[in-house]
Amino acid sequence: MAGEVRQLDDRKLAVLRAIVQDYVGTEEPVGSKALVERHNLGVSPATVRNDMAALEEEGYIHQPHTSAGRIPTDKGYRLFVDRLAEVKPMSAPERRAIRHFLEGAVDLDDTVARTVRLLAQLTRQVAVVQYPSLSRSTVRHIELVALAPAKVMLVLITNTGRVEQRTVDCPGTVGETVLADLRARINARAAGQRLPDVPAALEELPAMFEQVDRPTVTTVLATLFEALAEQNEERIMLAGTANLTRFGHDFPLTIQPVLEALEEQVVLLRLLGETTDAAMTVRIGRENAYEGLNSTSVVSVGYGSGDESVAKLGVIGPTRMDYPGTMGAVRAVARYVGQILAES
Amino acid sequence: MAGEVRQLDDRKLAVLRAIVQDYVGTEEPVGSKALVERHNLGVSPATVRNDMAALEEEGYIHQPHTSAGRIPTDKGYRLFVDRLAEVKPMSAPERRAIRHFLEGAVDLDDTVARTVRLLAQLTRQVAVVQYPSLSRSTVRHIELVALAPAKVMLVLITNTGRVEQRTVDCPGTVGETVLADLRARINARAAGQRLPDVPAALEELPAMFEQVDRPTVTTVLATLFEALAEQNEERIMLAGTANLTRFGHDFPLTIQPVLEALEEQVVLLRLLGETTDAAMTVRIGRENAYEGLNSTSVVSVGYGSGDESVAKLGVIGPTRMDYPGTMGAVRAVARYVGQILAES
DNA sequence: TCTGGCACTCGTGCGCTCAGAGTGCCAAAC
DNA sequence: GTTTGGCACTCTGAGCGCACGAGTGCCAGA
């Protein structure tokens, strides 16, 4: 790989950069003449043509038909992102606006909702935000409420502000004192624990109750563990689907599988799951595992309160997208959501 | 209006019905010859042509160009829905499947999510489900949890299974006993009350506490009332946007405003809000207040646990949609969600 | 009141041509 | 050796003309 790249001298790389920039802007194959006109490369079209031929030979660009201009391939975008582009930072006013908009949120739902809309608007693409994940967060409080003689509502509140709730059908009548006792003991042991550690912390609990009450206790605990484990813990919010209409000319064909993918939470979760925690991840075209997204790129990054990344967010757009701008917006938004979450 | 309709004899109505049915099926303007071939009307094409001319005169159908077939106008669909079509009931296996699918839900979120996906799948259109509204529901329990010396978390649980939560910053330290007292008193008065009635029921509460604690009490109550009033109580879930791709040929133009509308919860809420409670509402084309939905139809109906309709659900599709089938699906789903909610 | 016939309209698809943009290659210049 | 200008070649897309077919409106006769 590195060998291949080394064969391309600086001017060829400049040509590739120019091709990507122009194509992203105009959405039309770019030819040698137009290229020298718009970027002052200091060489003639003929020279550029030679370079283009070399770039095509290496698989970085491709021409749709003979005698049309060139468009970048996935591999070309990849090189562009890795070596030719710099993340474009947000301007100070933009950063202020982001922060201000996110600060207005009243609760976690609202924060996520605002984040996703903001991201969609900034990038003019489809934005995806995963809720702060349960697996990394800790128990703030667990509440038990009697609804009926043999029916209990269980509410789980996490440090990220998330609330999960379940109704439990108990095997027998549940006394108010037993319930209060159970509530107190559960919280004493579970509060502050990371969610995956909770079952272990509560292991010995049934033994501490009288024989009669044990079935109730175990039933409640079972439901609690279920809520903890529930993979539907992984929720996602979406915005900006209207931006799909700006995808391109041949778009009815492109847009259908994308819309389908967006409807499948599982697909989106896996998509974001591929993000390596620390840095920003860019998946270009066929690099995406999901087939329907083969002509789109995904830019994603982890975010979280404090140092730890507890969830991910990202943007989905056509491979022909403004990578520097998109990456800048994604990074900025992730940073600010993290701050907001840390504060609340 | 009634006068105009009376001028159309039975055969003309039959012709209109046939035109609607054919156009919905084929998506192409339907001509007189094709019409007599596919429906045995017992008359010749020429006769049908005369009837068509009359129908066009009255504004029920319209031809895109001279010498093309006819397509129904909004007014034509309206007449079709009002007088010519019968709601097509779901088959027994379909009903069983619906019920079975909805019964698998674990909580309210899940119920709504399943409902909306089901509706989208059945109608092959875009489905919208409003969460059971807070304003009609009653308080099941209100929970207060101390998070920090001067920080309290407030959790509101309704009889529809919905959970709202807020953190409250109190003016001073809050003692555990005061908190327990407050919790008990709030619940004693508010439990079972309809949400709008809660403020009145808690009016005299601050006076029952010692002077020192009153600021805390009023702050907590203020947040509670805010949570009750919050218009964001009105949440909505959406599914089936991928079905937009089946909208029609000129679809890039049609689809954009629709996607925009779908992103705006406010628009959707107003849309469903127009539903009159009892019966099913059908808004055809320009009958929709929102401009972007001028070439779509909305079929919506209220649903709820028991007799009372606490929320609404519906379907958005092209004006050229299968009204009888869609209406049947919407009605059936609404009925079963109501049952499921009543049981839980 | 319905029907068959007939002339008329118009959109669509097909084949054709032509201009323009872009390329590849080659020989000359730097 | 690299760059440049020139030239022939290719291909797409727009524009045009034409024939076809579907569909209509109207009229005279049943």
Q: What is the pLDDT of residues B141-155, one digit of tens each?
A: 888 888 778 888 888
Rounded CA separation A293/B298 (Å): 30
Q: Measure Cα distances from B220 to B154, B172, B223 in Å.
A: 8, 12, 5
Q: Which residues numbered 65-124 in chain A sit less than 7 A from strand D, measured from CB?
A: 65-68
User: H/E element holding B96?
Assistant: helix B92-103
When the pLDDT of each residue in chain B is averaged and rounded to a whole number, the result is 86
pLDDT, residue B4, reads 44
Q: Given 3-state DSSP classes, what are the helix, strand and coil percentages for chain B, each rounded to the nearest 5?
A: 55, 20, 30
Q: Is the pLDDT of residue B1 over 50?
A: no
pLDDT grade for A271, boundaries at 50, 70 and 90: confident
Rounded CA separation B13/B82 (Å): 12
Rounded CA separation B286/A33 (Å): 50
pLDDT grade for A94, boundaries at 50, 70 and 90: very high
Helix B176-190 to helix B214-229 angle, to the nearest 10 degrees?
A: 40
Q: Is the pLDDT of residue B180 over 70?
A: yes
Tokens of A193: 């624990």
Better-predicted residue by pLDDT, B72 or A5: B72
Please state the rounded mean pLDDT for residues A68-73: 91
Please state the rounded mean pLDDT for residues B64-87: 90
Dihedral angle at the C-alpha atoms of B280, B283, B284, B288, nearest 10 degrees? -170
Please state the rounded mean pLDDT for residues B61-79: 90
Please state the rounded mean pLDDT for residues B2-8: 48
For residue B117, the chain A residue with the least C-alpha distance is A263
Burial class (CB in 10 A: 0-12, 13-18, 19+), B60: buried
Q: In chain B, what residues touch A251 (CB-CB under 8 Å)? A: 252
Inter-chain residue contact A242 with B252, CB threshold 8 Å: no
Half-sphere exposure of B180 (CA within 13 A, CB side): 4
Max mean pLDDT range (A71-80, A142-151, A237-246): A71-80
Cα dihedral sign, B294-B323-B130-A114: negative
Q: Is the pLDDT of residue B248 over 70?
A: no
The pLDDT tens digits of the residues spanning B318-337 come to 999 999 999 999 999 999 99
**H helix and E strand count, chain B:** 13, 10
pLDDT, residue A82, reads 93
Mutate to test the interface with B, among A141, A226, A233, A266 (most CBs of B within 10 A): A141
Find the range with the poorest average confidence among A38-52, A260-274, A302-316, B63-77.
A302-316
Please state the rounded mean pLDDT for residues A68-77: 92
Residues from A in contact with B at Cβ < 8 Å: 106-107, 110, 140-141, 143, 145, 147, 153, 155, 157, 161, 163, 165-167, 230, 232, 239-242, 244-245, 251-252, 255-256, 259-260, 262-263, 344
Mutate to test the interface with A, among B140, B165, B344 (most CBs of A within 10 A): B165
pLDDT, residue A232, reads 45
Burial class (CB in 10 A: 0-12, 13-18, 19+), A210: exposed
Q: Is the pLDDT of residue B63 over 50?
A: yes
A58 CA → C15 C1’, Å = 40
pLDDT, residue B5, reads 45
Q: Is the pLDDT of residue A39 over 90?
A: no
pLDDT, residue B251, reads 63
pLDDT, residue A251, reads 63
pLDDT grade for A100, boundaries at 50, 70 and 90: very high
Find the range with the poorest average confidence among A94-103, B4-13, B26-35, B297-306.
B4-13
Q: Report chain A's terminal Cα–Cα distance, integer Å.
A: 46
pLDDT grade for A194, boundaries at 50, 70 and 90: confident
CA B172 to chain centre: 44
Better-predicted residue by pLDDT, A269 or B93: B93
pLDDT, residue B107, reads 77
Please state the rounded mean pLDDT for residues A124-145: 83
Please state the rounded mean pLDDT for residues A85-93: 93
pLDDT, residue B325, reads 95
Q: Are B326 and B123 in contact (CB under 8 A)?
A: yes
pLDDT, residue B128, reads 96
Closest CA to B269 of B140, B173, B135: B135
Verdict on whether the full-model pTM lies above 0.85: no
pLDDT grade for B169, boundaries at 50, 70 and 90: confident
pLDDT, residue A92, reads 94
Closest CA to A187 of A235, A164, A218, A154: A154
Closest CA to A32 of A24, A18, A21: A18
Q: Are A73 and A59 in contact (CB under 8 A)?
A: yes
Inter-chain residue contact B165 with A163, CB threshold 8 Å: yes
Rounded CA separation B243/B121 (Å): 9
Burial class (CB in 10 A: 0-12, 13-18, 19+), A242: buried
Q: Is the pLDDT of residue A47 over 60?
A: yes
Q: Is the pLDDT of residue A98 over 90?
A: yes
When the pLDDT of each residue in chain A is averaged and rounded to a whole number, the result is 86
B146 to chain A nearest CA, in Å? Answer: 9
Quote the percentage of chain A above a pLDDT of 70: 91
